[in-house]
């Protein structure tokens, strides 16, 4: 838990830090990458690196750079054009980061990830090992989504979510999301001049979603995606600081304890590494609609999901696949590895435990999803 002493946050003990910098802070008003701005960020990152912190950088800007290189007036909307734009821009983005950090004697490494990399258990663990080696070697990983091979649309949903997932992967002690907004307000400051800036909020507070707004032109992440990212990071025990990257020397000031931006605090229940991997599944093999009693058992009592609480089975999945559990309104409650195929789940949904053997005619786990194989949202 990050303490506040004499109106200063005590952040110096946070050694491993994921820093996410948004497109608007890296580009010259949409006119390609801003070398002066990126050099400024490199100096701040180098100062933290040299002070002993382990920095993992998640950088946006590839699509924005690609747009300029191809002289596009607006962001493409079709997937192939977005992918091509990202591929073109990523060349400039990683070259720029490598050049400016090399001036401070810091080696960098390009790491491109997709949702599939984190959803596949073996690839997830391999990327964990690679990132850990880079950190051990005092290399700064520069991470972006591998937009060129994304299959749904060019979003994780966004680099805020990617940064939160990486924070869980590397067991970061702090996630800093730098944006063009000062932090989390109780209402949209663009339409309400009297909006109040929060200095600290609980990341898992459901009411935060009602206060969040939308995104800009070059980037895709508005405050809503940042709230979701902070919530995801909090599940791994990692607090999140959202602050304005337009503030002078913001990283040094944040780490010195200055009360800039909004700190999203965590609860004490840090999830296991296996549950972190489960939580990384934005896409799942199927869906289980569960009743209010099952929601309460999972969220409040941390119990397993039993077939009796399942109302609807959606999708085609096999035993051991990762599925999502949603309440009757469709809101995600949890994701987990299911103990039944979709056909078996359809047969046993709504049944009490003693009825399962009668229907399936075989001995097996009575839980639809065991609590140890579940990540709760």
Domains in the chain: ranges and CATH: 4-275 (3.40.1160.10), 284-376 (2.30.130.10)
- Following DSSP, what letter does each residue of 230-241 receive, concatenated? HHHHHHTT--EE
Cα distance between residue 94 and residue 252, in whole Å: 23
Specify the pairing of strand 322-326 against strand 332-337. antiparallel
Query: Strand 240-244 vs strand 262-265: parallel, antiparallel, or unpaired?
Result: antiparallel
246, pLDDT greater than 60:
yes
Burial class (CB in 10 A: 0-12, 13-18, 19+), 202: middle
Instruction: Tell me the sheet residues that pair with 142.
Output: 57, 110
Phi–psi pair at 116, nearest 5 degrees:
-65, -30
Percentage of the chain exceeding pLDDT 70: 92
How many angstroms separate the CA atoms of 267 and 16, rounded? Answer: 19
d(CA 125, CA 136): 16
pLDDT tens digits, 58-103? 998 888 899 989 999 888 888 889 889 989 999 999 999 999 999 9
Mean pLDDT, to the nearest integer, of 291-296? 96
User: In angstroms, rounded to a whole number, what is the distance separating the alpha carbons of residues 346 and 342?
Assistant: 6
Q: What is the pLDDT of residue 364?
A: 64
For residue 268, the tally of other CB atoms under 10 A from its CB is 6
Task: Estimate to the nearest angstrom the gap between the alpha carbon of 366 and the chain centroid.
Answer: 33
Within 8 A by CB and 6+ apart from 330, the residues are: 289
pLDDT in tens, 188-215: 777 788 888 999 999 888 788 777 754 4
Confidence category of residue 216, pLDDT binned at 50, 70, 90? very low
Is the pLDDT at 274 greater than 90, yes or no?
A: no
91-141 confidence digits (pLDDT tens):
999 999 999 999 999 999 999 998 778 777 788 888 989 999 999 999 999
Strand partners for 324:
287, 335
For the entire predicted model, the pTM comes to 0.80
Phi-psi region of 159 (alpha: psi -120 to 50; beta: other; left: phi over 0): alpha
User: In which band, very low, low, confident or very high, does the pLDDT at 154 lie, cut at 50, 70 and 90?
Assistant: very low
Structure tokens at 280: 């990384």
């Amino acid at each position: 838990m990050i303490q506040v002493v004499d109106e200063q946050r005590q952040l110096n003990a946070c050694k491993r830090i994921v820093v996410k910098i948004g497109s608007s802070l890296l580009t010259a008003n949409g006119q390609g990458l801003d070398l002066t701005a990126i050099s400024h960020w490199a100096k701040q990152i180098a100062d933290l690196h040299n002070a002993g912190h382990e920095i993992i950088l998640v950088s946006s800007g590839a699509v924005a750079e690609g747009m300029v290189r191809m002289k596009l007036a607006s962001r493409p909307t079709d997937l192939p054009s977005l992918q091509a734009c990202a591929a073109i821009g990523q060349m400039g983005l990683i070259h720029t980061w490598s050049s400016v950090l090399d001036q401070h004697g810091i080696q960098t490494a390009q790491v491109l990830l997709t949702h599939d990399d984190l959803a596949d258990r073996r690839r997830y663990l391999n990327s964990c090992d690679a990132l850990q080696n880079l950190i051990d070697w005092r290399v700064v990983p520069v991470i972006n989504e591998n937009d060129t091979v994304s299959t749904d649309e060019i979003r994780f949903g966004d680099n805020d979510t990617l940064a939160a997932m990486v924070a869980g992967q590397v067991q970061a002690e702090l996630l800093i999301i730098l944006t063009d907004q000062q932090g989390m307000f109780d209402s949209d400051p663009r339409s309400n001049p009297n909006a109040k800036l929060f200095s600290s909020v609980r990341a898992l507070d459901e009411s935060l979603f009602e206060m969040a707004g939308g995104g800009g032109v070059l980037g895709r992440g508005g405050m809503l995606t940042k709230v979701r990212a902070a919530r995801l990071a909090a599940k791994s025990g990692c607090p999140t600081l959202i602050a304005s990257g337009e503030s002078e020397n913001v990283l040094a000031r944040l780490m010195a304890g200055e009360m800039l931006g909004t700190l999203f605090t965590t609860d004490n229940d840090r999830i296991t590494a296996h549950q972190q991997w489960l939580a990384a599944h934005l896409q799942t093999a199927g869906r289980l609609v569960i009743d209010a009693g099952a929601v309460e058992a999972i969220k409040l009592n941390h119990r397993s999901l039993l077939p009796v609480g399942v109302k609807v089975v959606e999708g085609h999945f096999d035993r051991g696949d990762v599925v999502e559990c949603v309440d009757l309104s469709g809101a995600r409650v949890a994701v987990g590895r299911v103990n039944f195929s979709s056909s078996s789940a359809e047969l046993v949904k709504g049944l009490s435990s003693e009825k399962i053997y009668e229907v399936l005619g075989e001995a097996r786990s009575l839980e639809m999803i065991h609590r140890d194989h579940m990540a709760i949202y």
